[in-house]
Structure formats: structure tokens, C-alpha cells
Structure 1
Amino acid sequence: MKVTKTEDRIDIEKLKAREHIMFFEEVLLFEDELHDHGVSMISVKIRVMPSSFFLLQRFFLRVDGVLIKINDTRLYYEDGKNYMLREFSTRENTIAELKNIPAAFYTDPNEIAQHLTLRVTECEKLEFPVMQYESSVSEVIQ
């Protein structure tokens, strides 16, 4: 697989469009309560539609009274393309920087993510290898 930096982004509007969801799953891979001083968890969500699939791997870290951090890796494939898009992002703030955000949001990664400062974004195109066949289709049929 060839990996290159790209300016292309996952089309969030396409993901919002109503399309039949053939498969959806969310799996919690790891969780630790940090000896009652916060939480660290990694989860994966996948959604498969007839024309594409989308995967989100999320690392969420909350150290009580100190900071909240989220690392997201998103993969998106659209039918007919010879590549997938991979977006990695880091969002992080100290608790002091979040003083105007309700503390109830601190425990929900989906709620707090929109309030955290985006620190890093990396976007890559993952191109599938071109398959080289030793014989042509007509040779195989014969």
C-alpha cells in the first residue's frame, strides 16, 4: 500500500446523507480508570454502507483536575476508488482551559471533543497496490 500526505479530506456531508447502514458496530478495546483519577479508553466504531465504509478509532484520556485528550484516527473508503483516506487528529486541553465547559461533558468523549483545541491533524491517502496478472483474461478463459 502506498501512503502519501494529501490535502483531500473525508467528506463529512456524504457521511451525513441518509444511506442504508448495512453494518454498524462499536467495540471498546481497552478501558482503565487510572486508580480513580480519571479514565483512559480506546474504542472503535465501524459503519458500512452500500457505497462506502467509515471507521473511527478513538483514544480518550481524562486525568481528573489535569487534562483531557482525544486522539482520533478515521478511515474512509468510497466504492470505486483505488484508495482510502486516513485522518489522524489530536485534541487536548488542560482542565483549567475548560473552566467554562460544564463538568458533565468531561466524562463523554463525544460531547467534550467539540470543545477541545485541535493540536495536530494529519491526512493521508492509502493507495491500494495495482495487481499485475501474468496472463490476460482471454488466456484464462481458454
Structure 2
Amino acid sequence: MPSYWYVLQRYFLRVDDVMVRSHETRMFHMLNTDYVLREYSTKEAKAQDINIPTSEMKEADDVIAFLPVKEKITEKLLVNTQTN
């Protein structure tokens, strides 16, 4: 049984023939540790710069791999595990 949790939050925007943008936050926590790892990333490109037909840009997972990273921040968040 896994002793961790993982969360992916994604905002995906596609404007046909204009641009594609993605904001993602990933969080990972190993149980019995005092921290959570958080990664935030922004990816964006003009539609003309991506060599994918617009008709194939319907699913975020199919497009995001082709987008360049504009910003990426990784943080280690400390969690208070004290109990009374």
C-alpha cells in the first residue's frame, strides 16, 4: 500500500489559432515526513509555433509536452506534525 500522496492541479487554456497555455501545481507528500514538495510551472506558446493541427489540440495531455516552460518554481513546505 502506498505511503504517500500526490496531487496534480492543472489549468489549460487553448484559443484556436492564437495560443495555448498551461498552469500546473504538483504536490507530493511522503507519509511520516515533515514536508510537502510543491512544484508550480507555467507553459505557453503561440499556436503557430506548435507543430500540431488545431484539430488535435483537444486534450491537454496531448499538447502540454510540446509547450516550452516559461516559469518553474519548486518549494519544500514544512508541515507541523506536533500532536498534543
Question: Normalized against structure 2, the TM-score is what?
Answer: 0.89
1:1-142 to structure 2, matched below 5 A, reads: 50-98=2-50, 100-129=51-80, 131=82, 133=84
The runs of 5 or more residues in structure 2 that have no matched partner are none
Identity of aligned residues (%): 32
**Superposition deviation, residue 129 in structure 1:** 2.0
Q: Return the TM-score normalized by structure 1.
A: 0.55
Structure 1: which 5+ residue stretches go unaligned?
1-19, 21-49, 134-142
Distance 1:131 1:80 in 2: 12
For 1:123, the aligned partner's letter is: T
Shift of 1:130: 5.0
C-alpha distance in structure 1 between counterparts of 2:54 and 2:16, whole Å = 11
More helix by share: 1
Shift of 1:101: 1.9
For the pair shown, the structure with the greater C-alpha radius of gyration is: 1
**C-alpha RMSD of matched pairs (Å):** 1.6
> What is the aligned residue count?
84
Deviation (angstroms), 1:106: 1.2
The answer to which structure, 1 or 2, has the higher relative contact order (CA under 8 A, 6+ apart) is: 2
CA distance in structure 2 between the aligned counterparts of 1:119 and 1:126, rounded to whole angstroms: 23
Deviation for aligned residue 1:77: 0.5
How far 1:81 sits from its partner (Å)?
1.4
Runs of 4+ with >3 A deviation:
none
